[in-house]
Amino acid sequence: MPKAKTINFENAVTELEKLVQGMESGDLTLEDSLKAFEKGMQLSRDCQQALADAEQKVKVLTEKNGEILSQELDLDS
């Protein structure tokens, strides 16, 4: 299975904010609004996954007998 693409969380949030502003402005056509909505939904899912991955990494770093451990996560499993 191919490795999931890594996103830049901060850039994705910034792009989401721009999409929302564009849709709220009322200047987009229906077609452009739908495209922006679709892109926003994908960015939202990507951000949620990035947050879940970060949370899992924090757990791996902190949950071994009270010792801080660092190990790579296999996000494909």
The answer as to whether 2 is a domain residue is: no
- The residue range of the domain holding 25 is 9-62
Confidence at residue 71, expressed as pLDDT on a 0 to 100 scale: 61
Nearest in space to 50 (alpha carbons), one of 3, 1, 2, 12: 12
Cβ atoms < 10 Å from Cβ of 16: 19
The answer as to whether 67 is a domain residue is: no
Confidence at residue 2, expressed as pLDDT on a 0 to 100 scale: 44
At residue 47, what is the residue type?
A: C
The answer as to whether 68 is a domain residue is: no
The answer as to whether 50 is a domain residue is: yes
Report how many domains make up the chain: 1
CATH number at residue 14: 1.10.287.1040
Confidence at residue 58, expressed as pLDDT on a 0 to 100 scale: 83
The answer as to whether 1 is a domain residue is: no
pLDDT 10s per residue in the chain (77 long)? 444 567 799 999 999 999 999 999 999 999 999 999 999 999 999 999 999 999 888 887 777 666 666 666 666 65
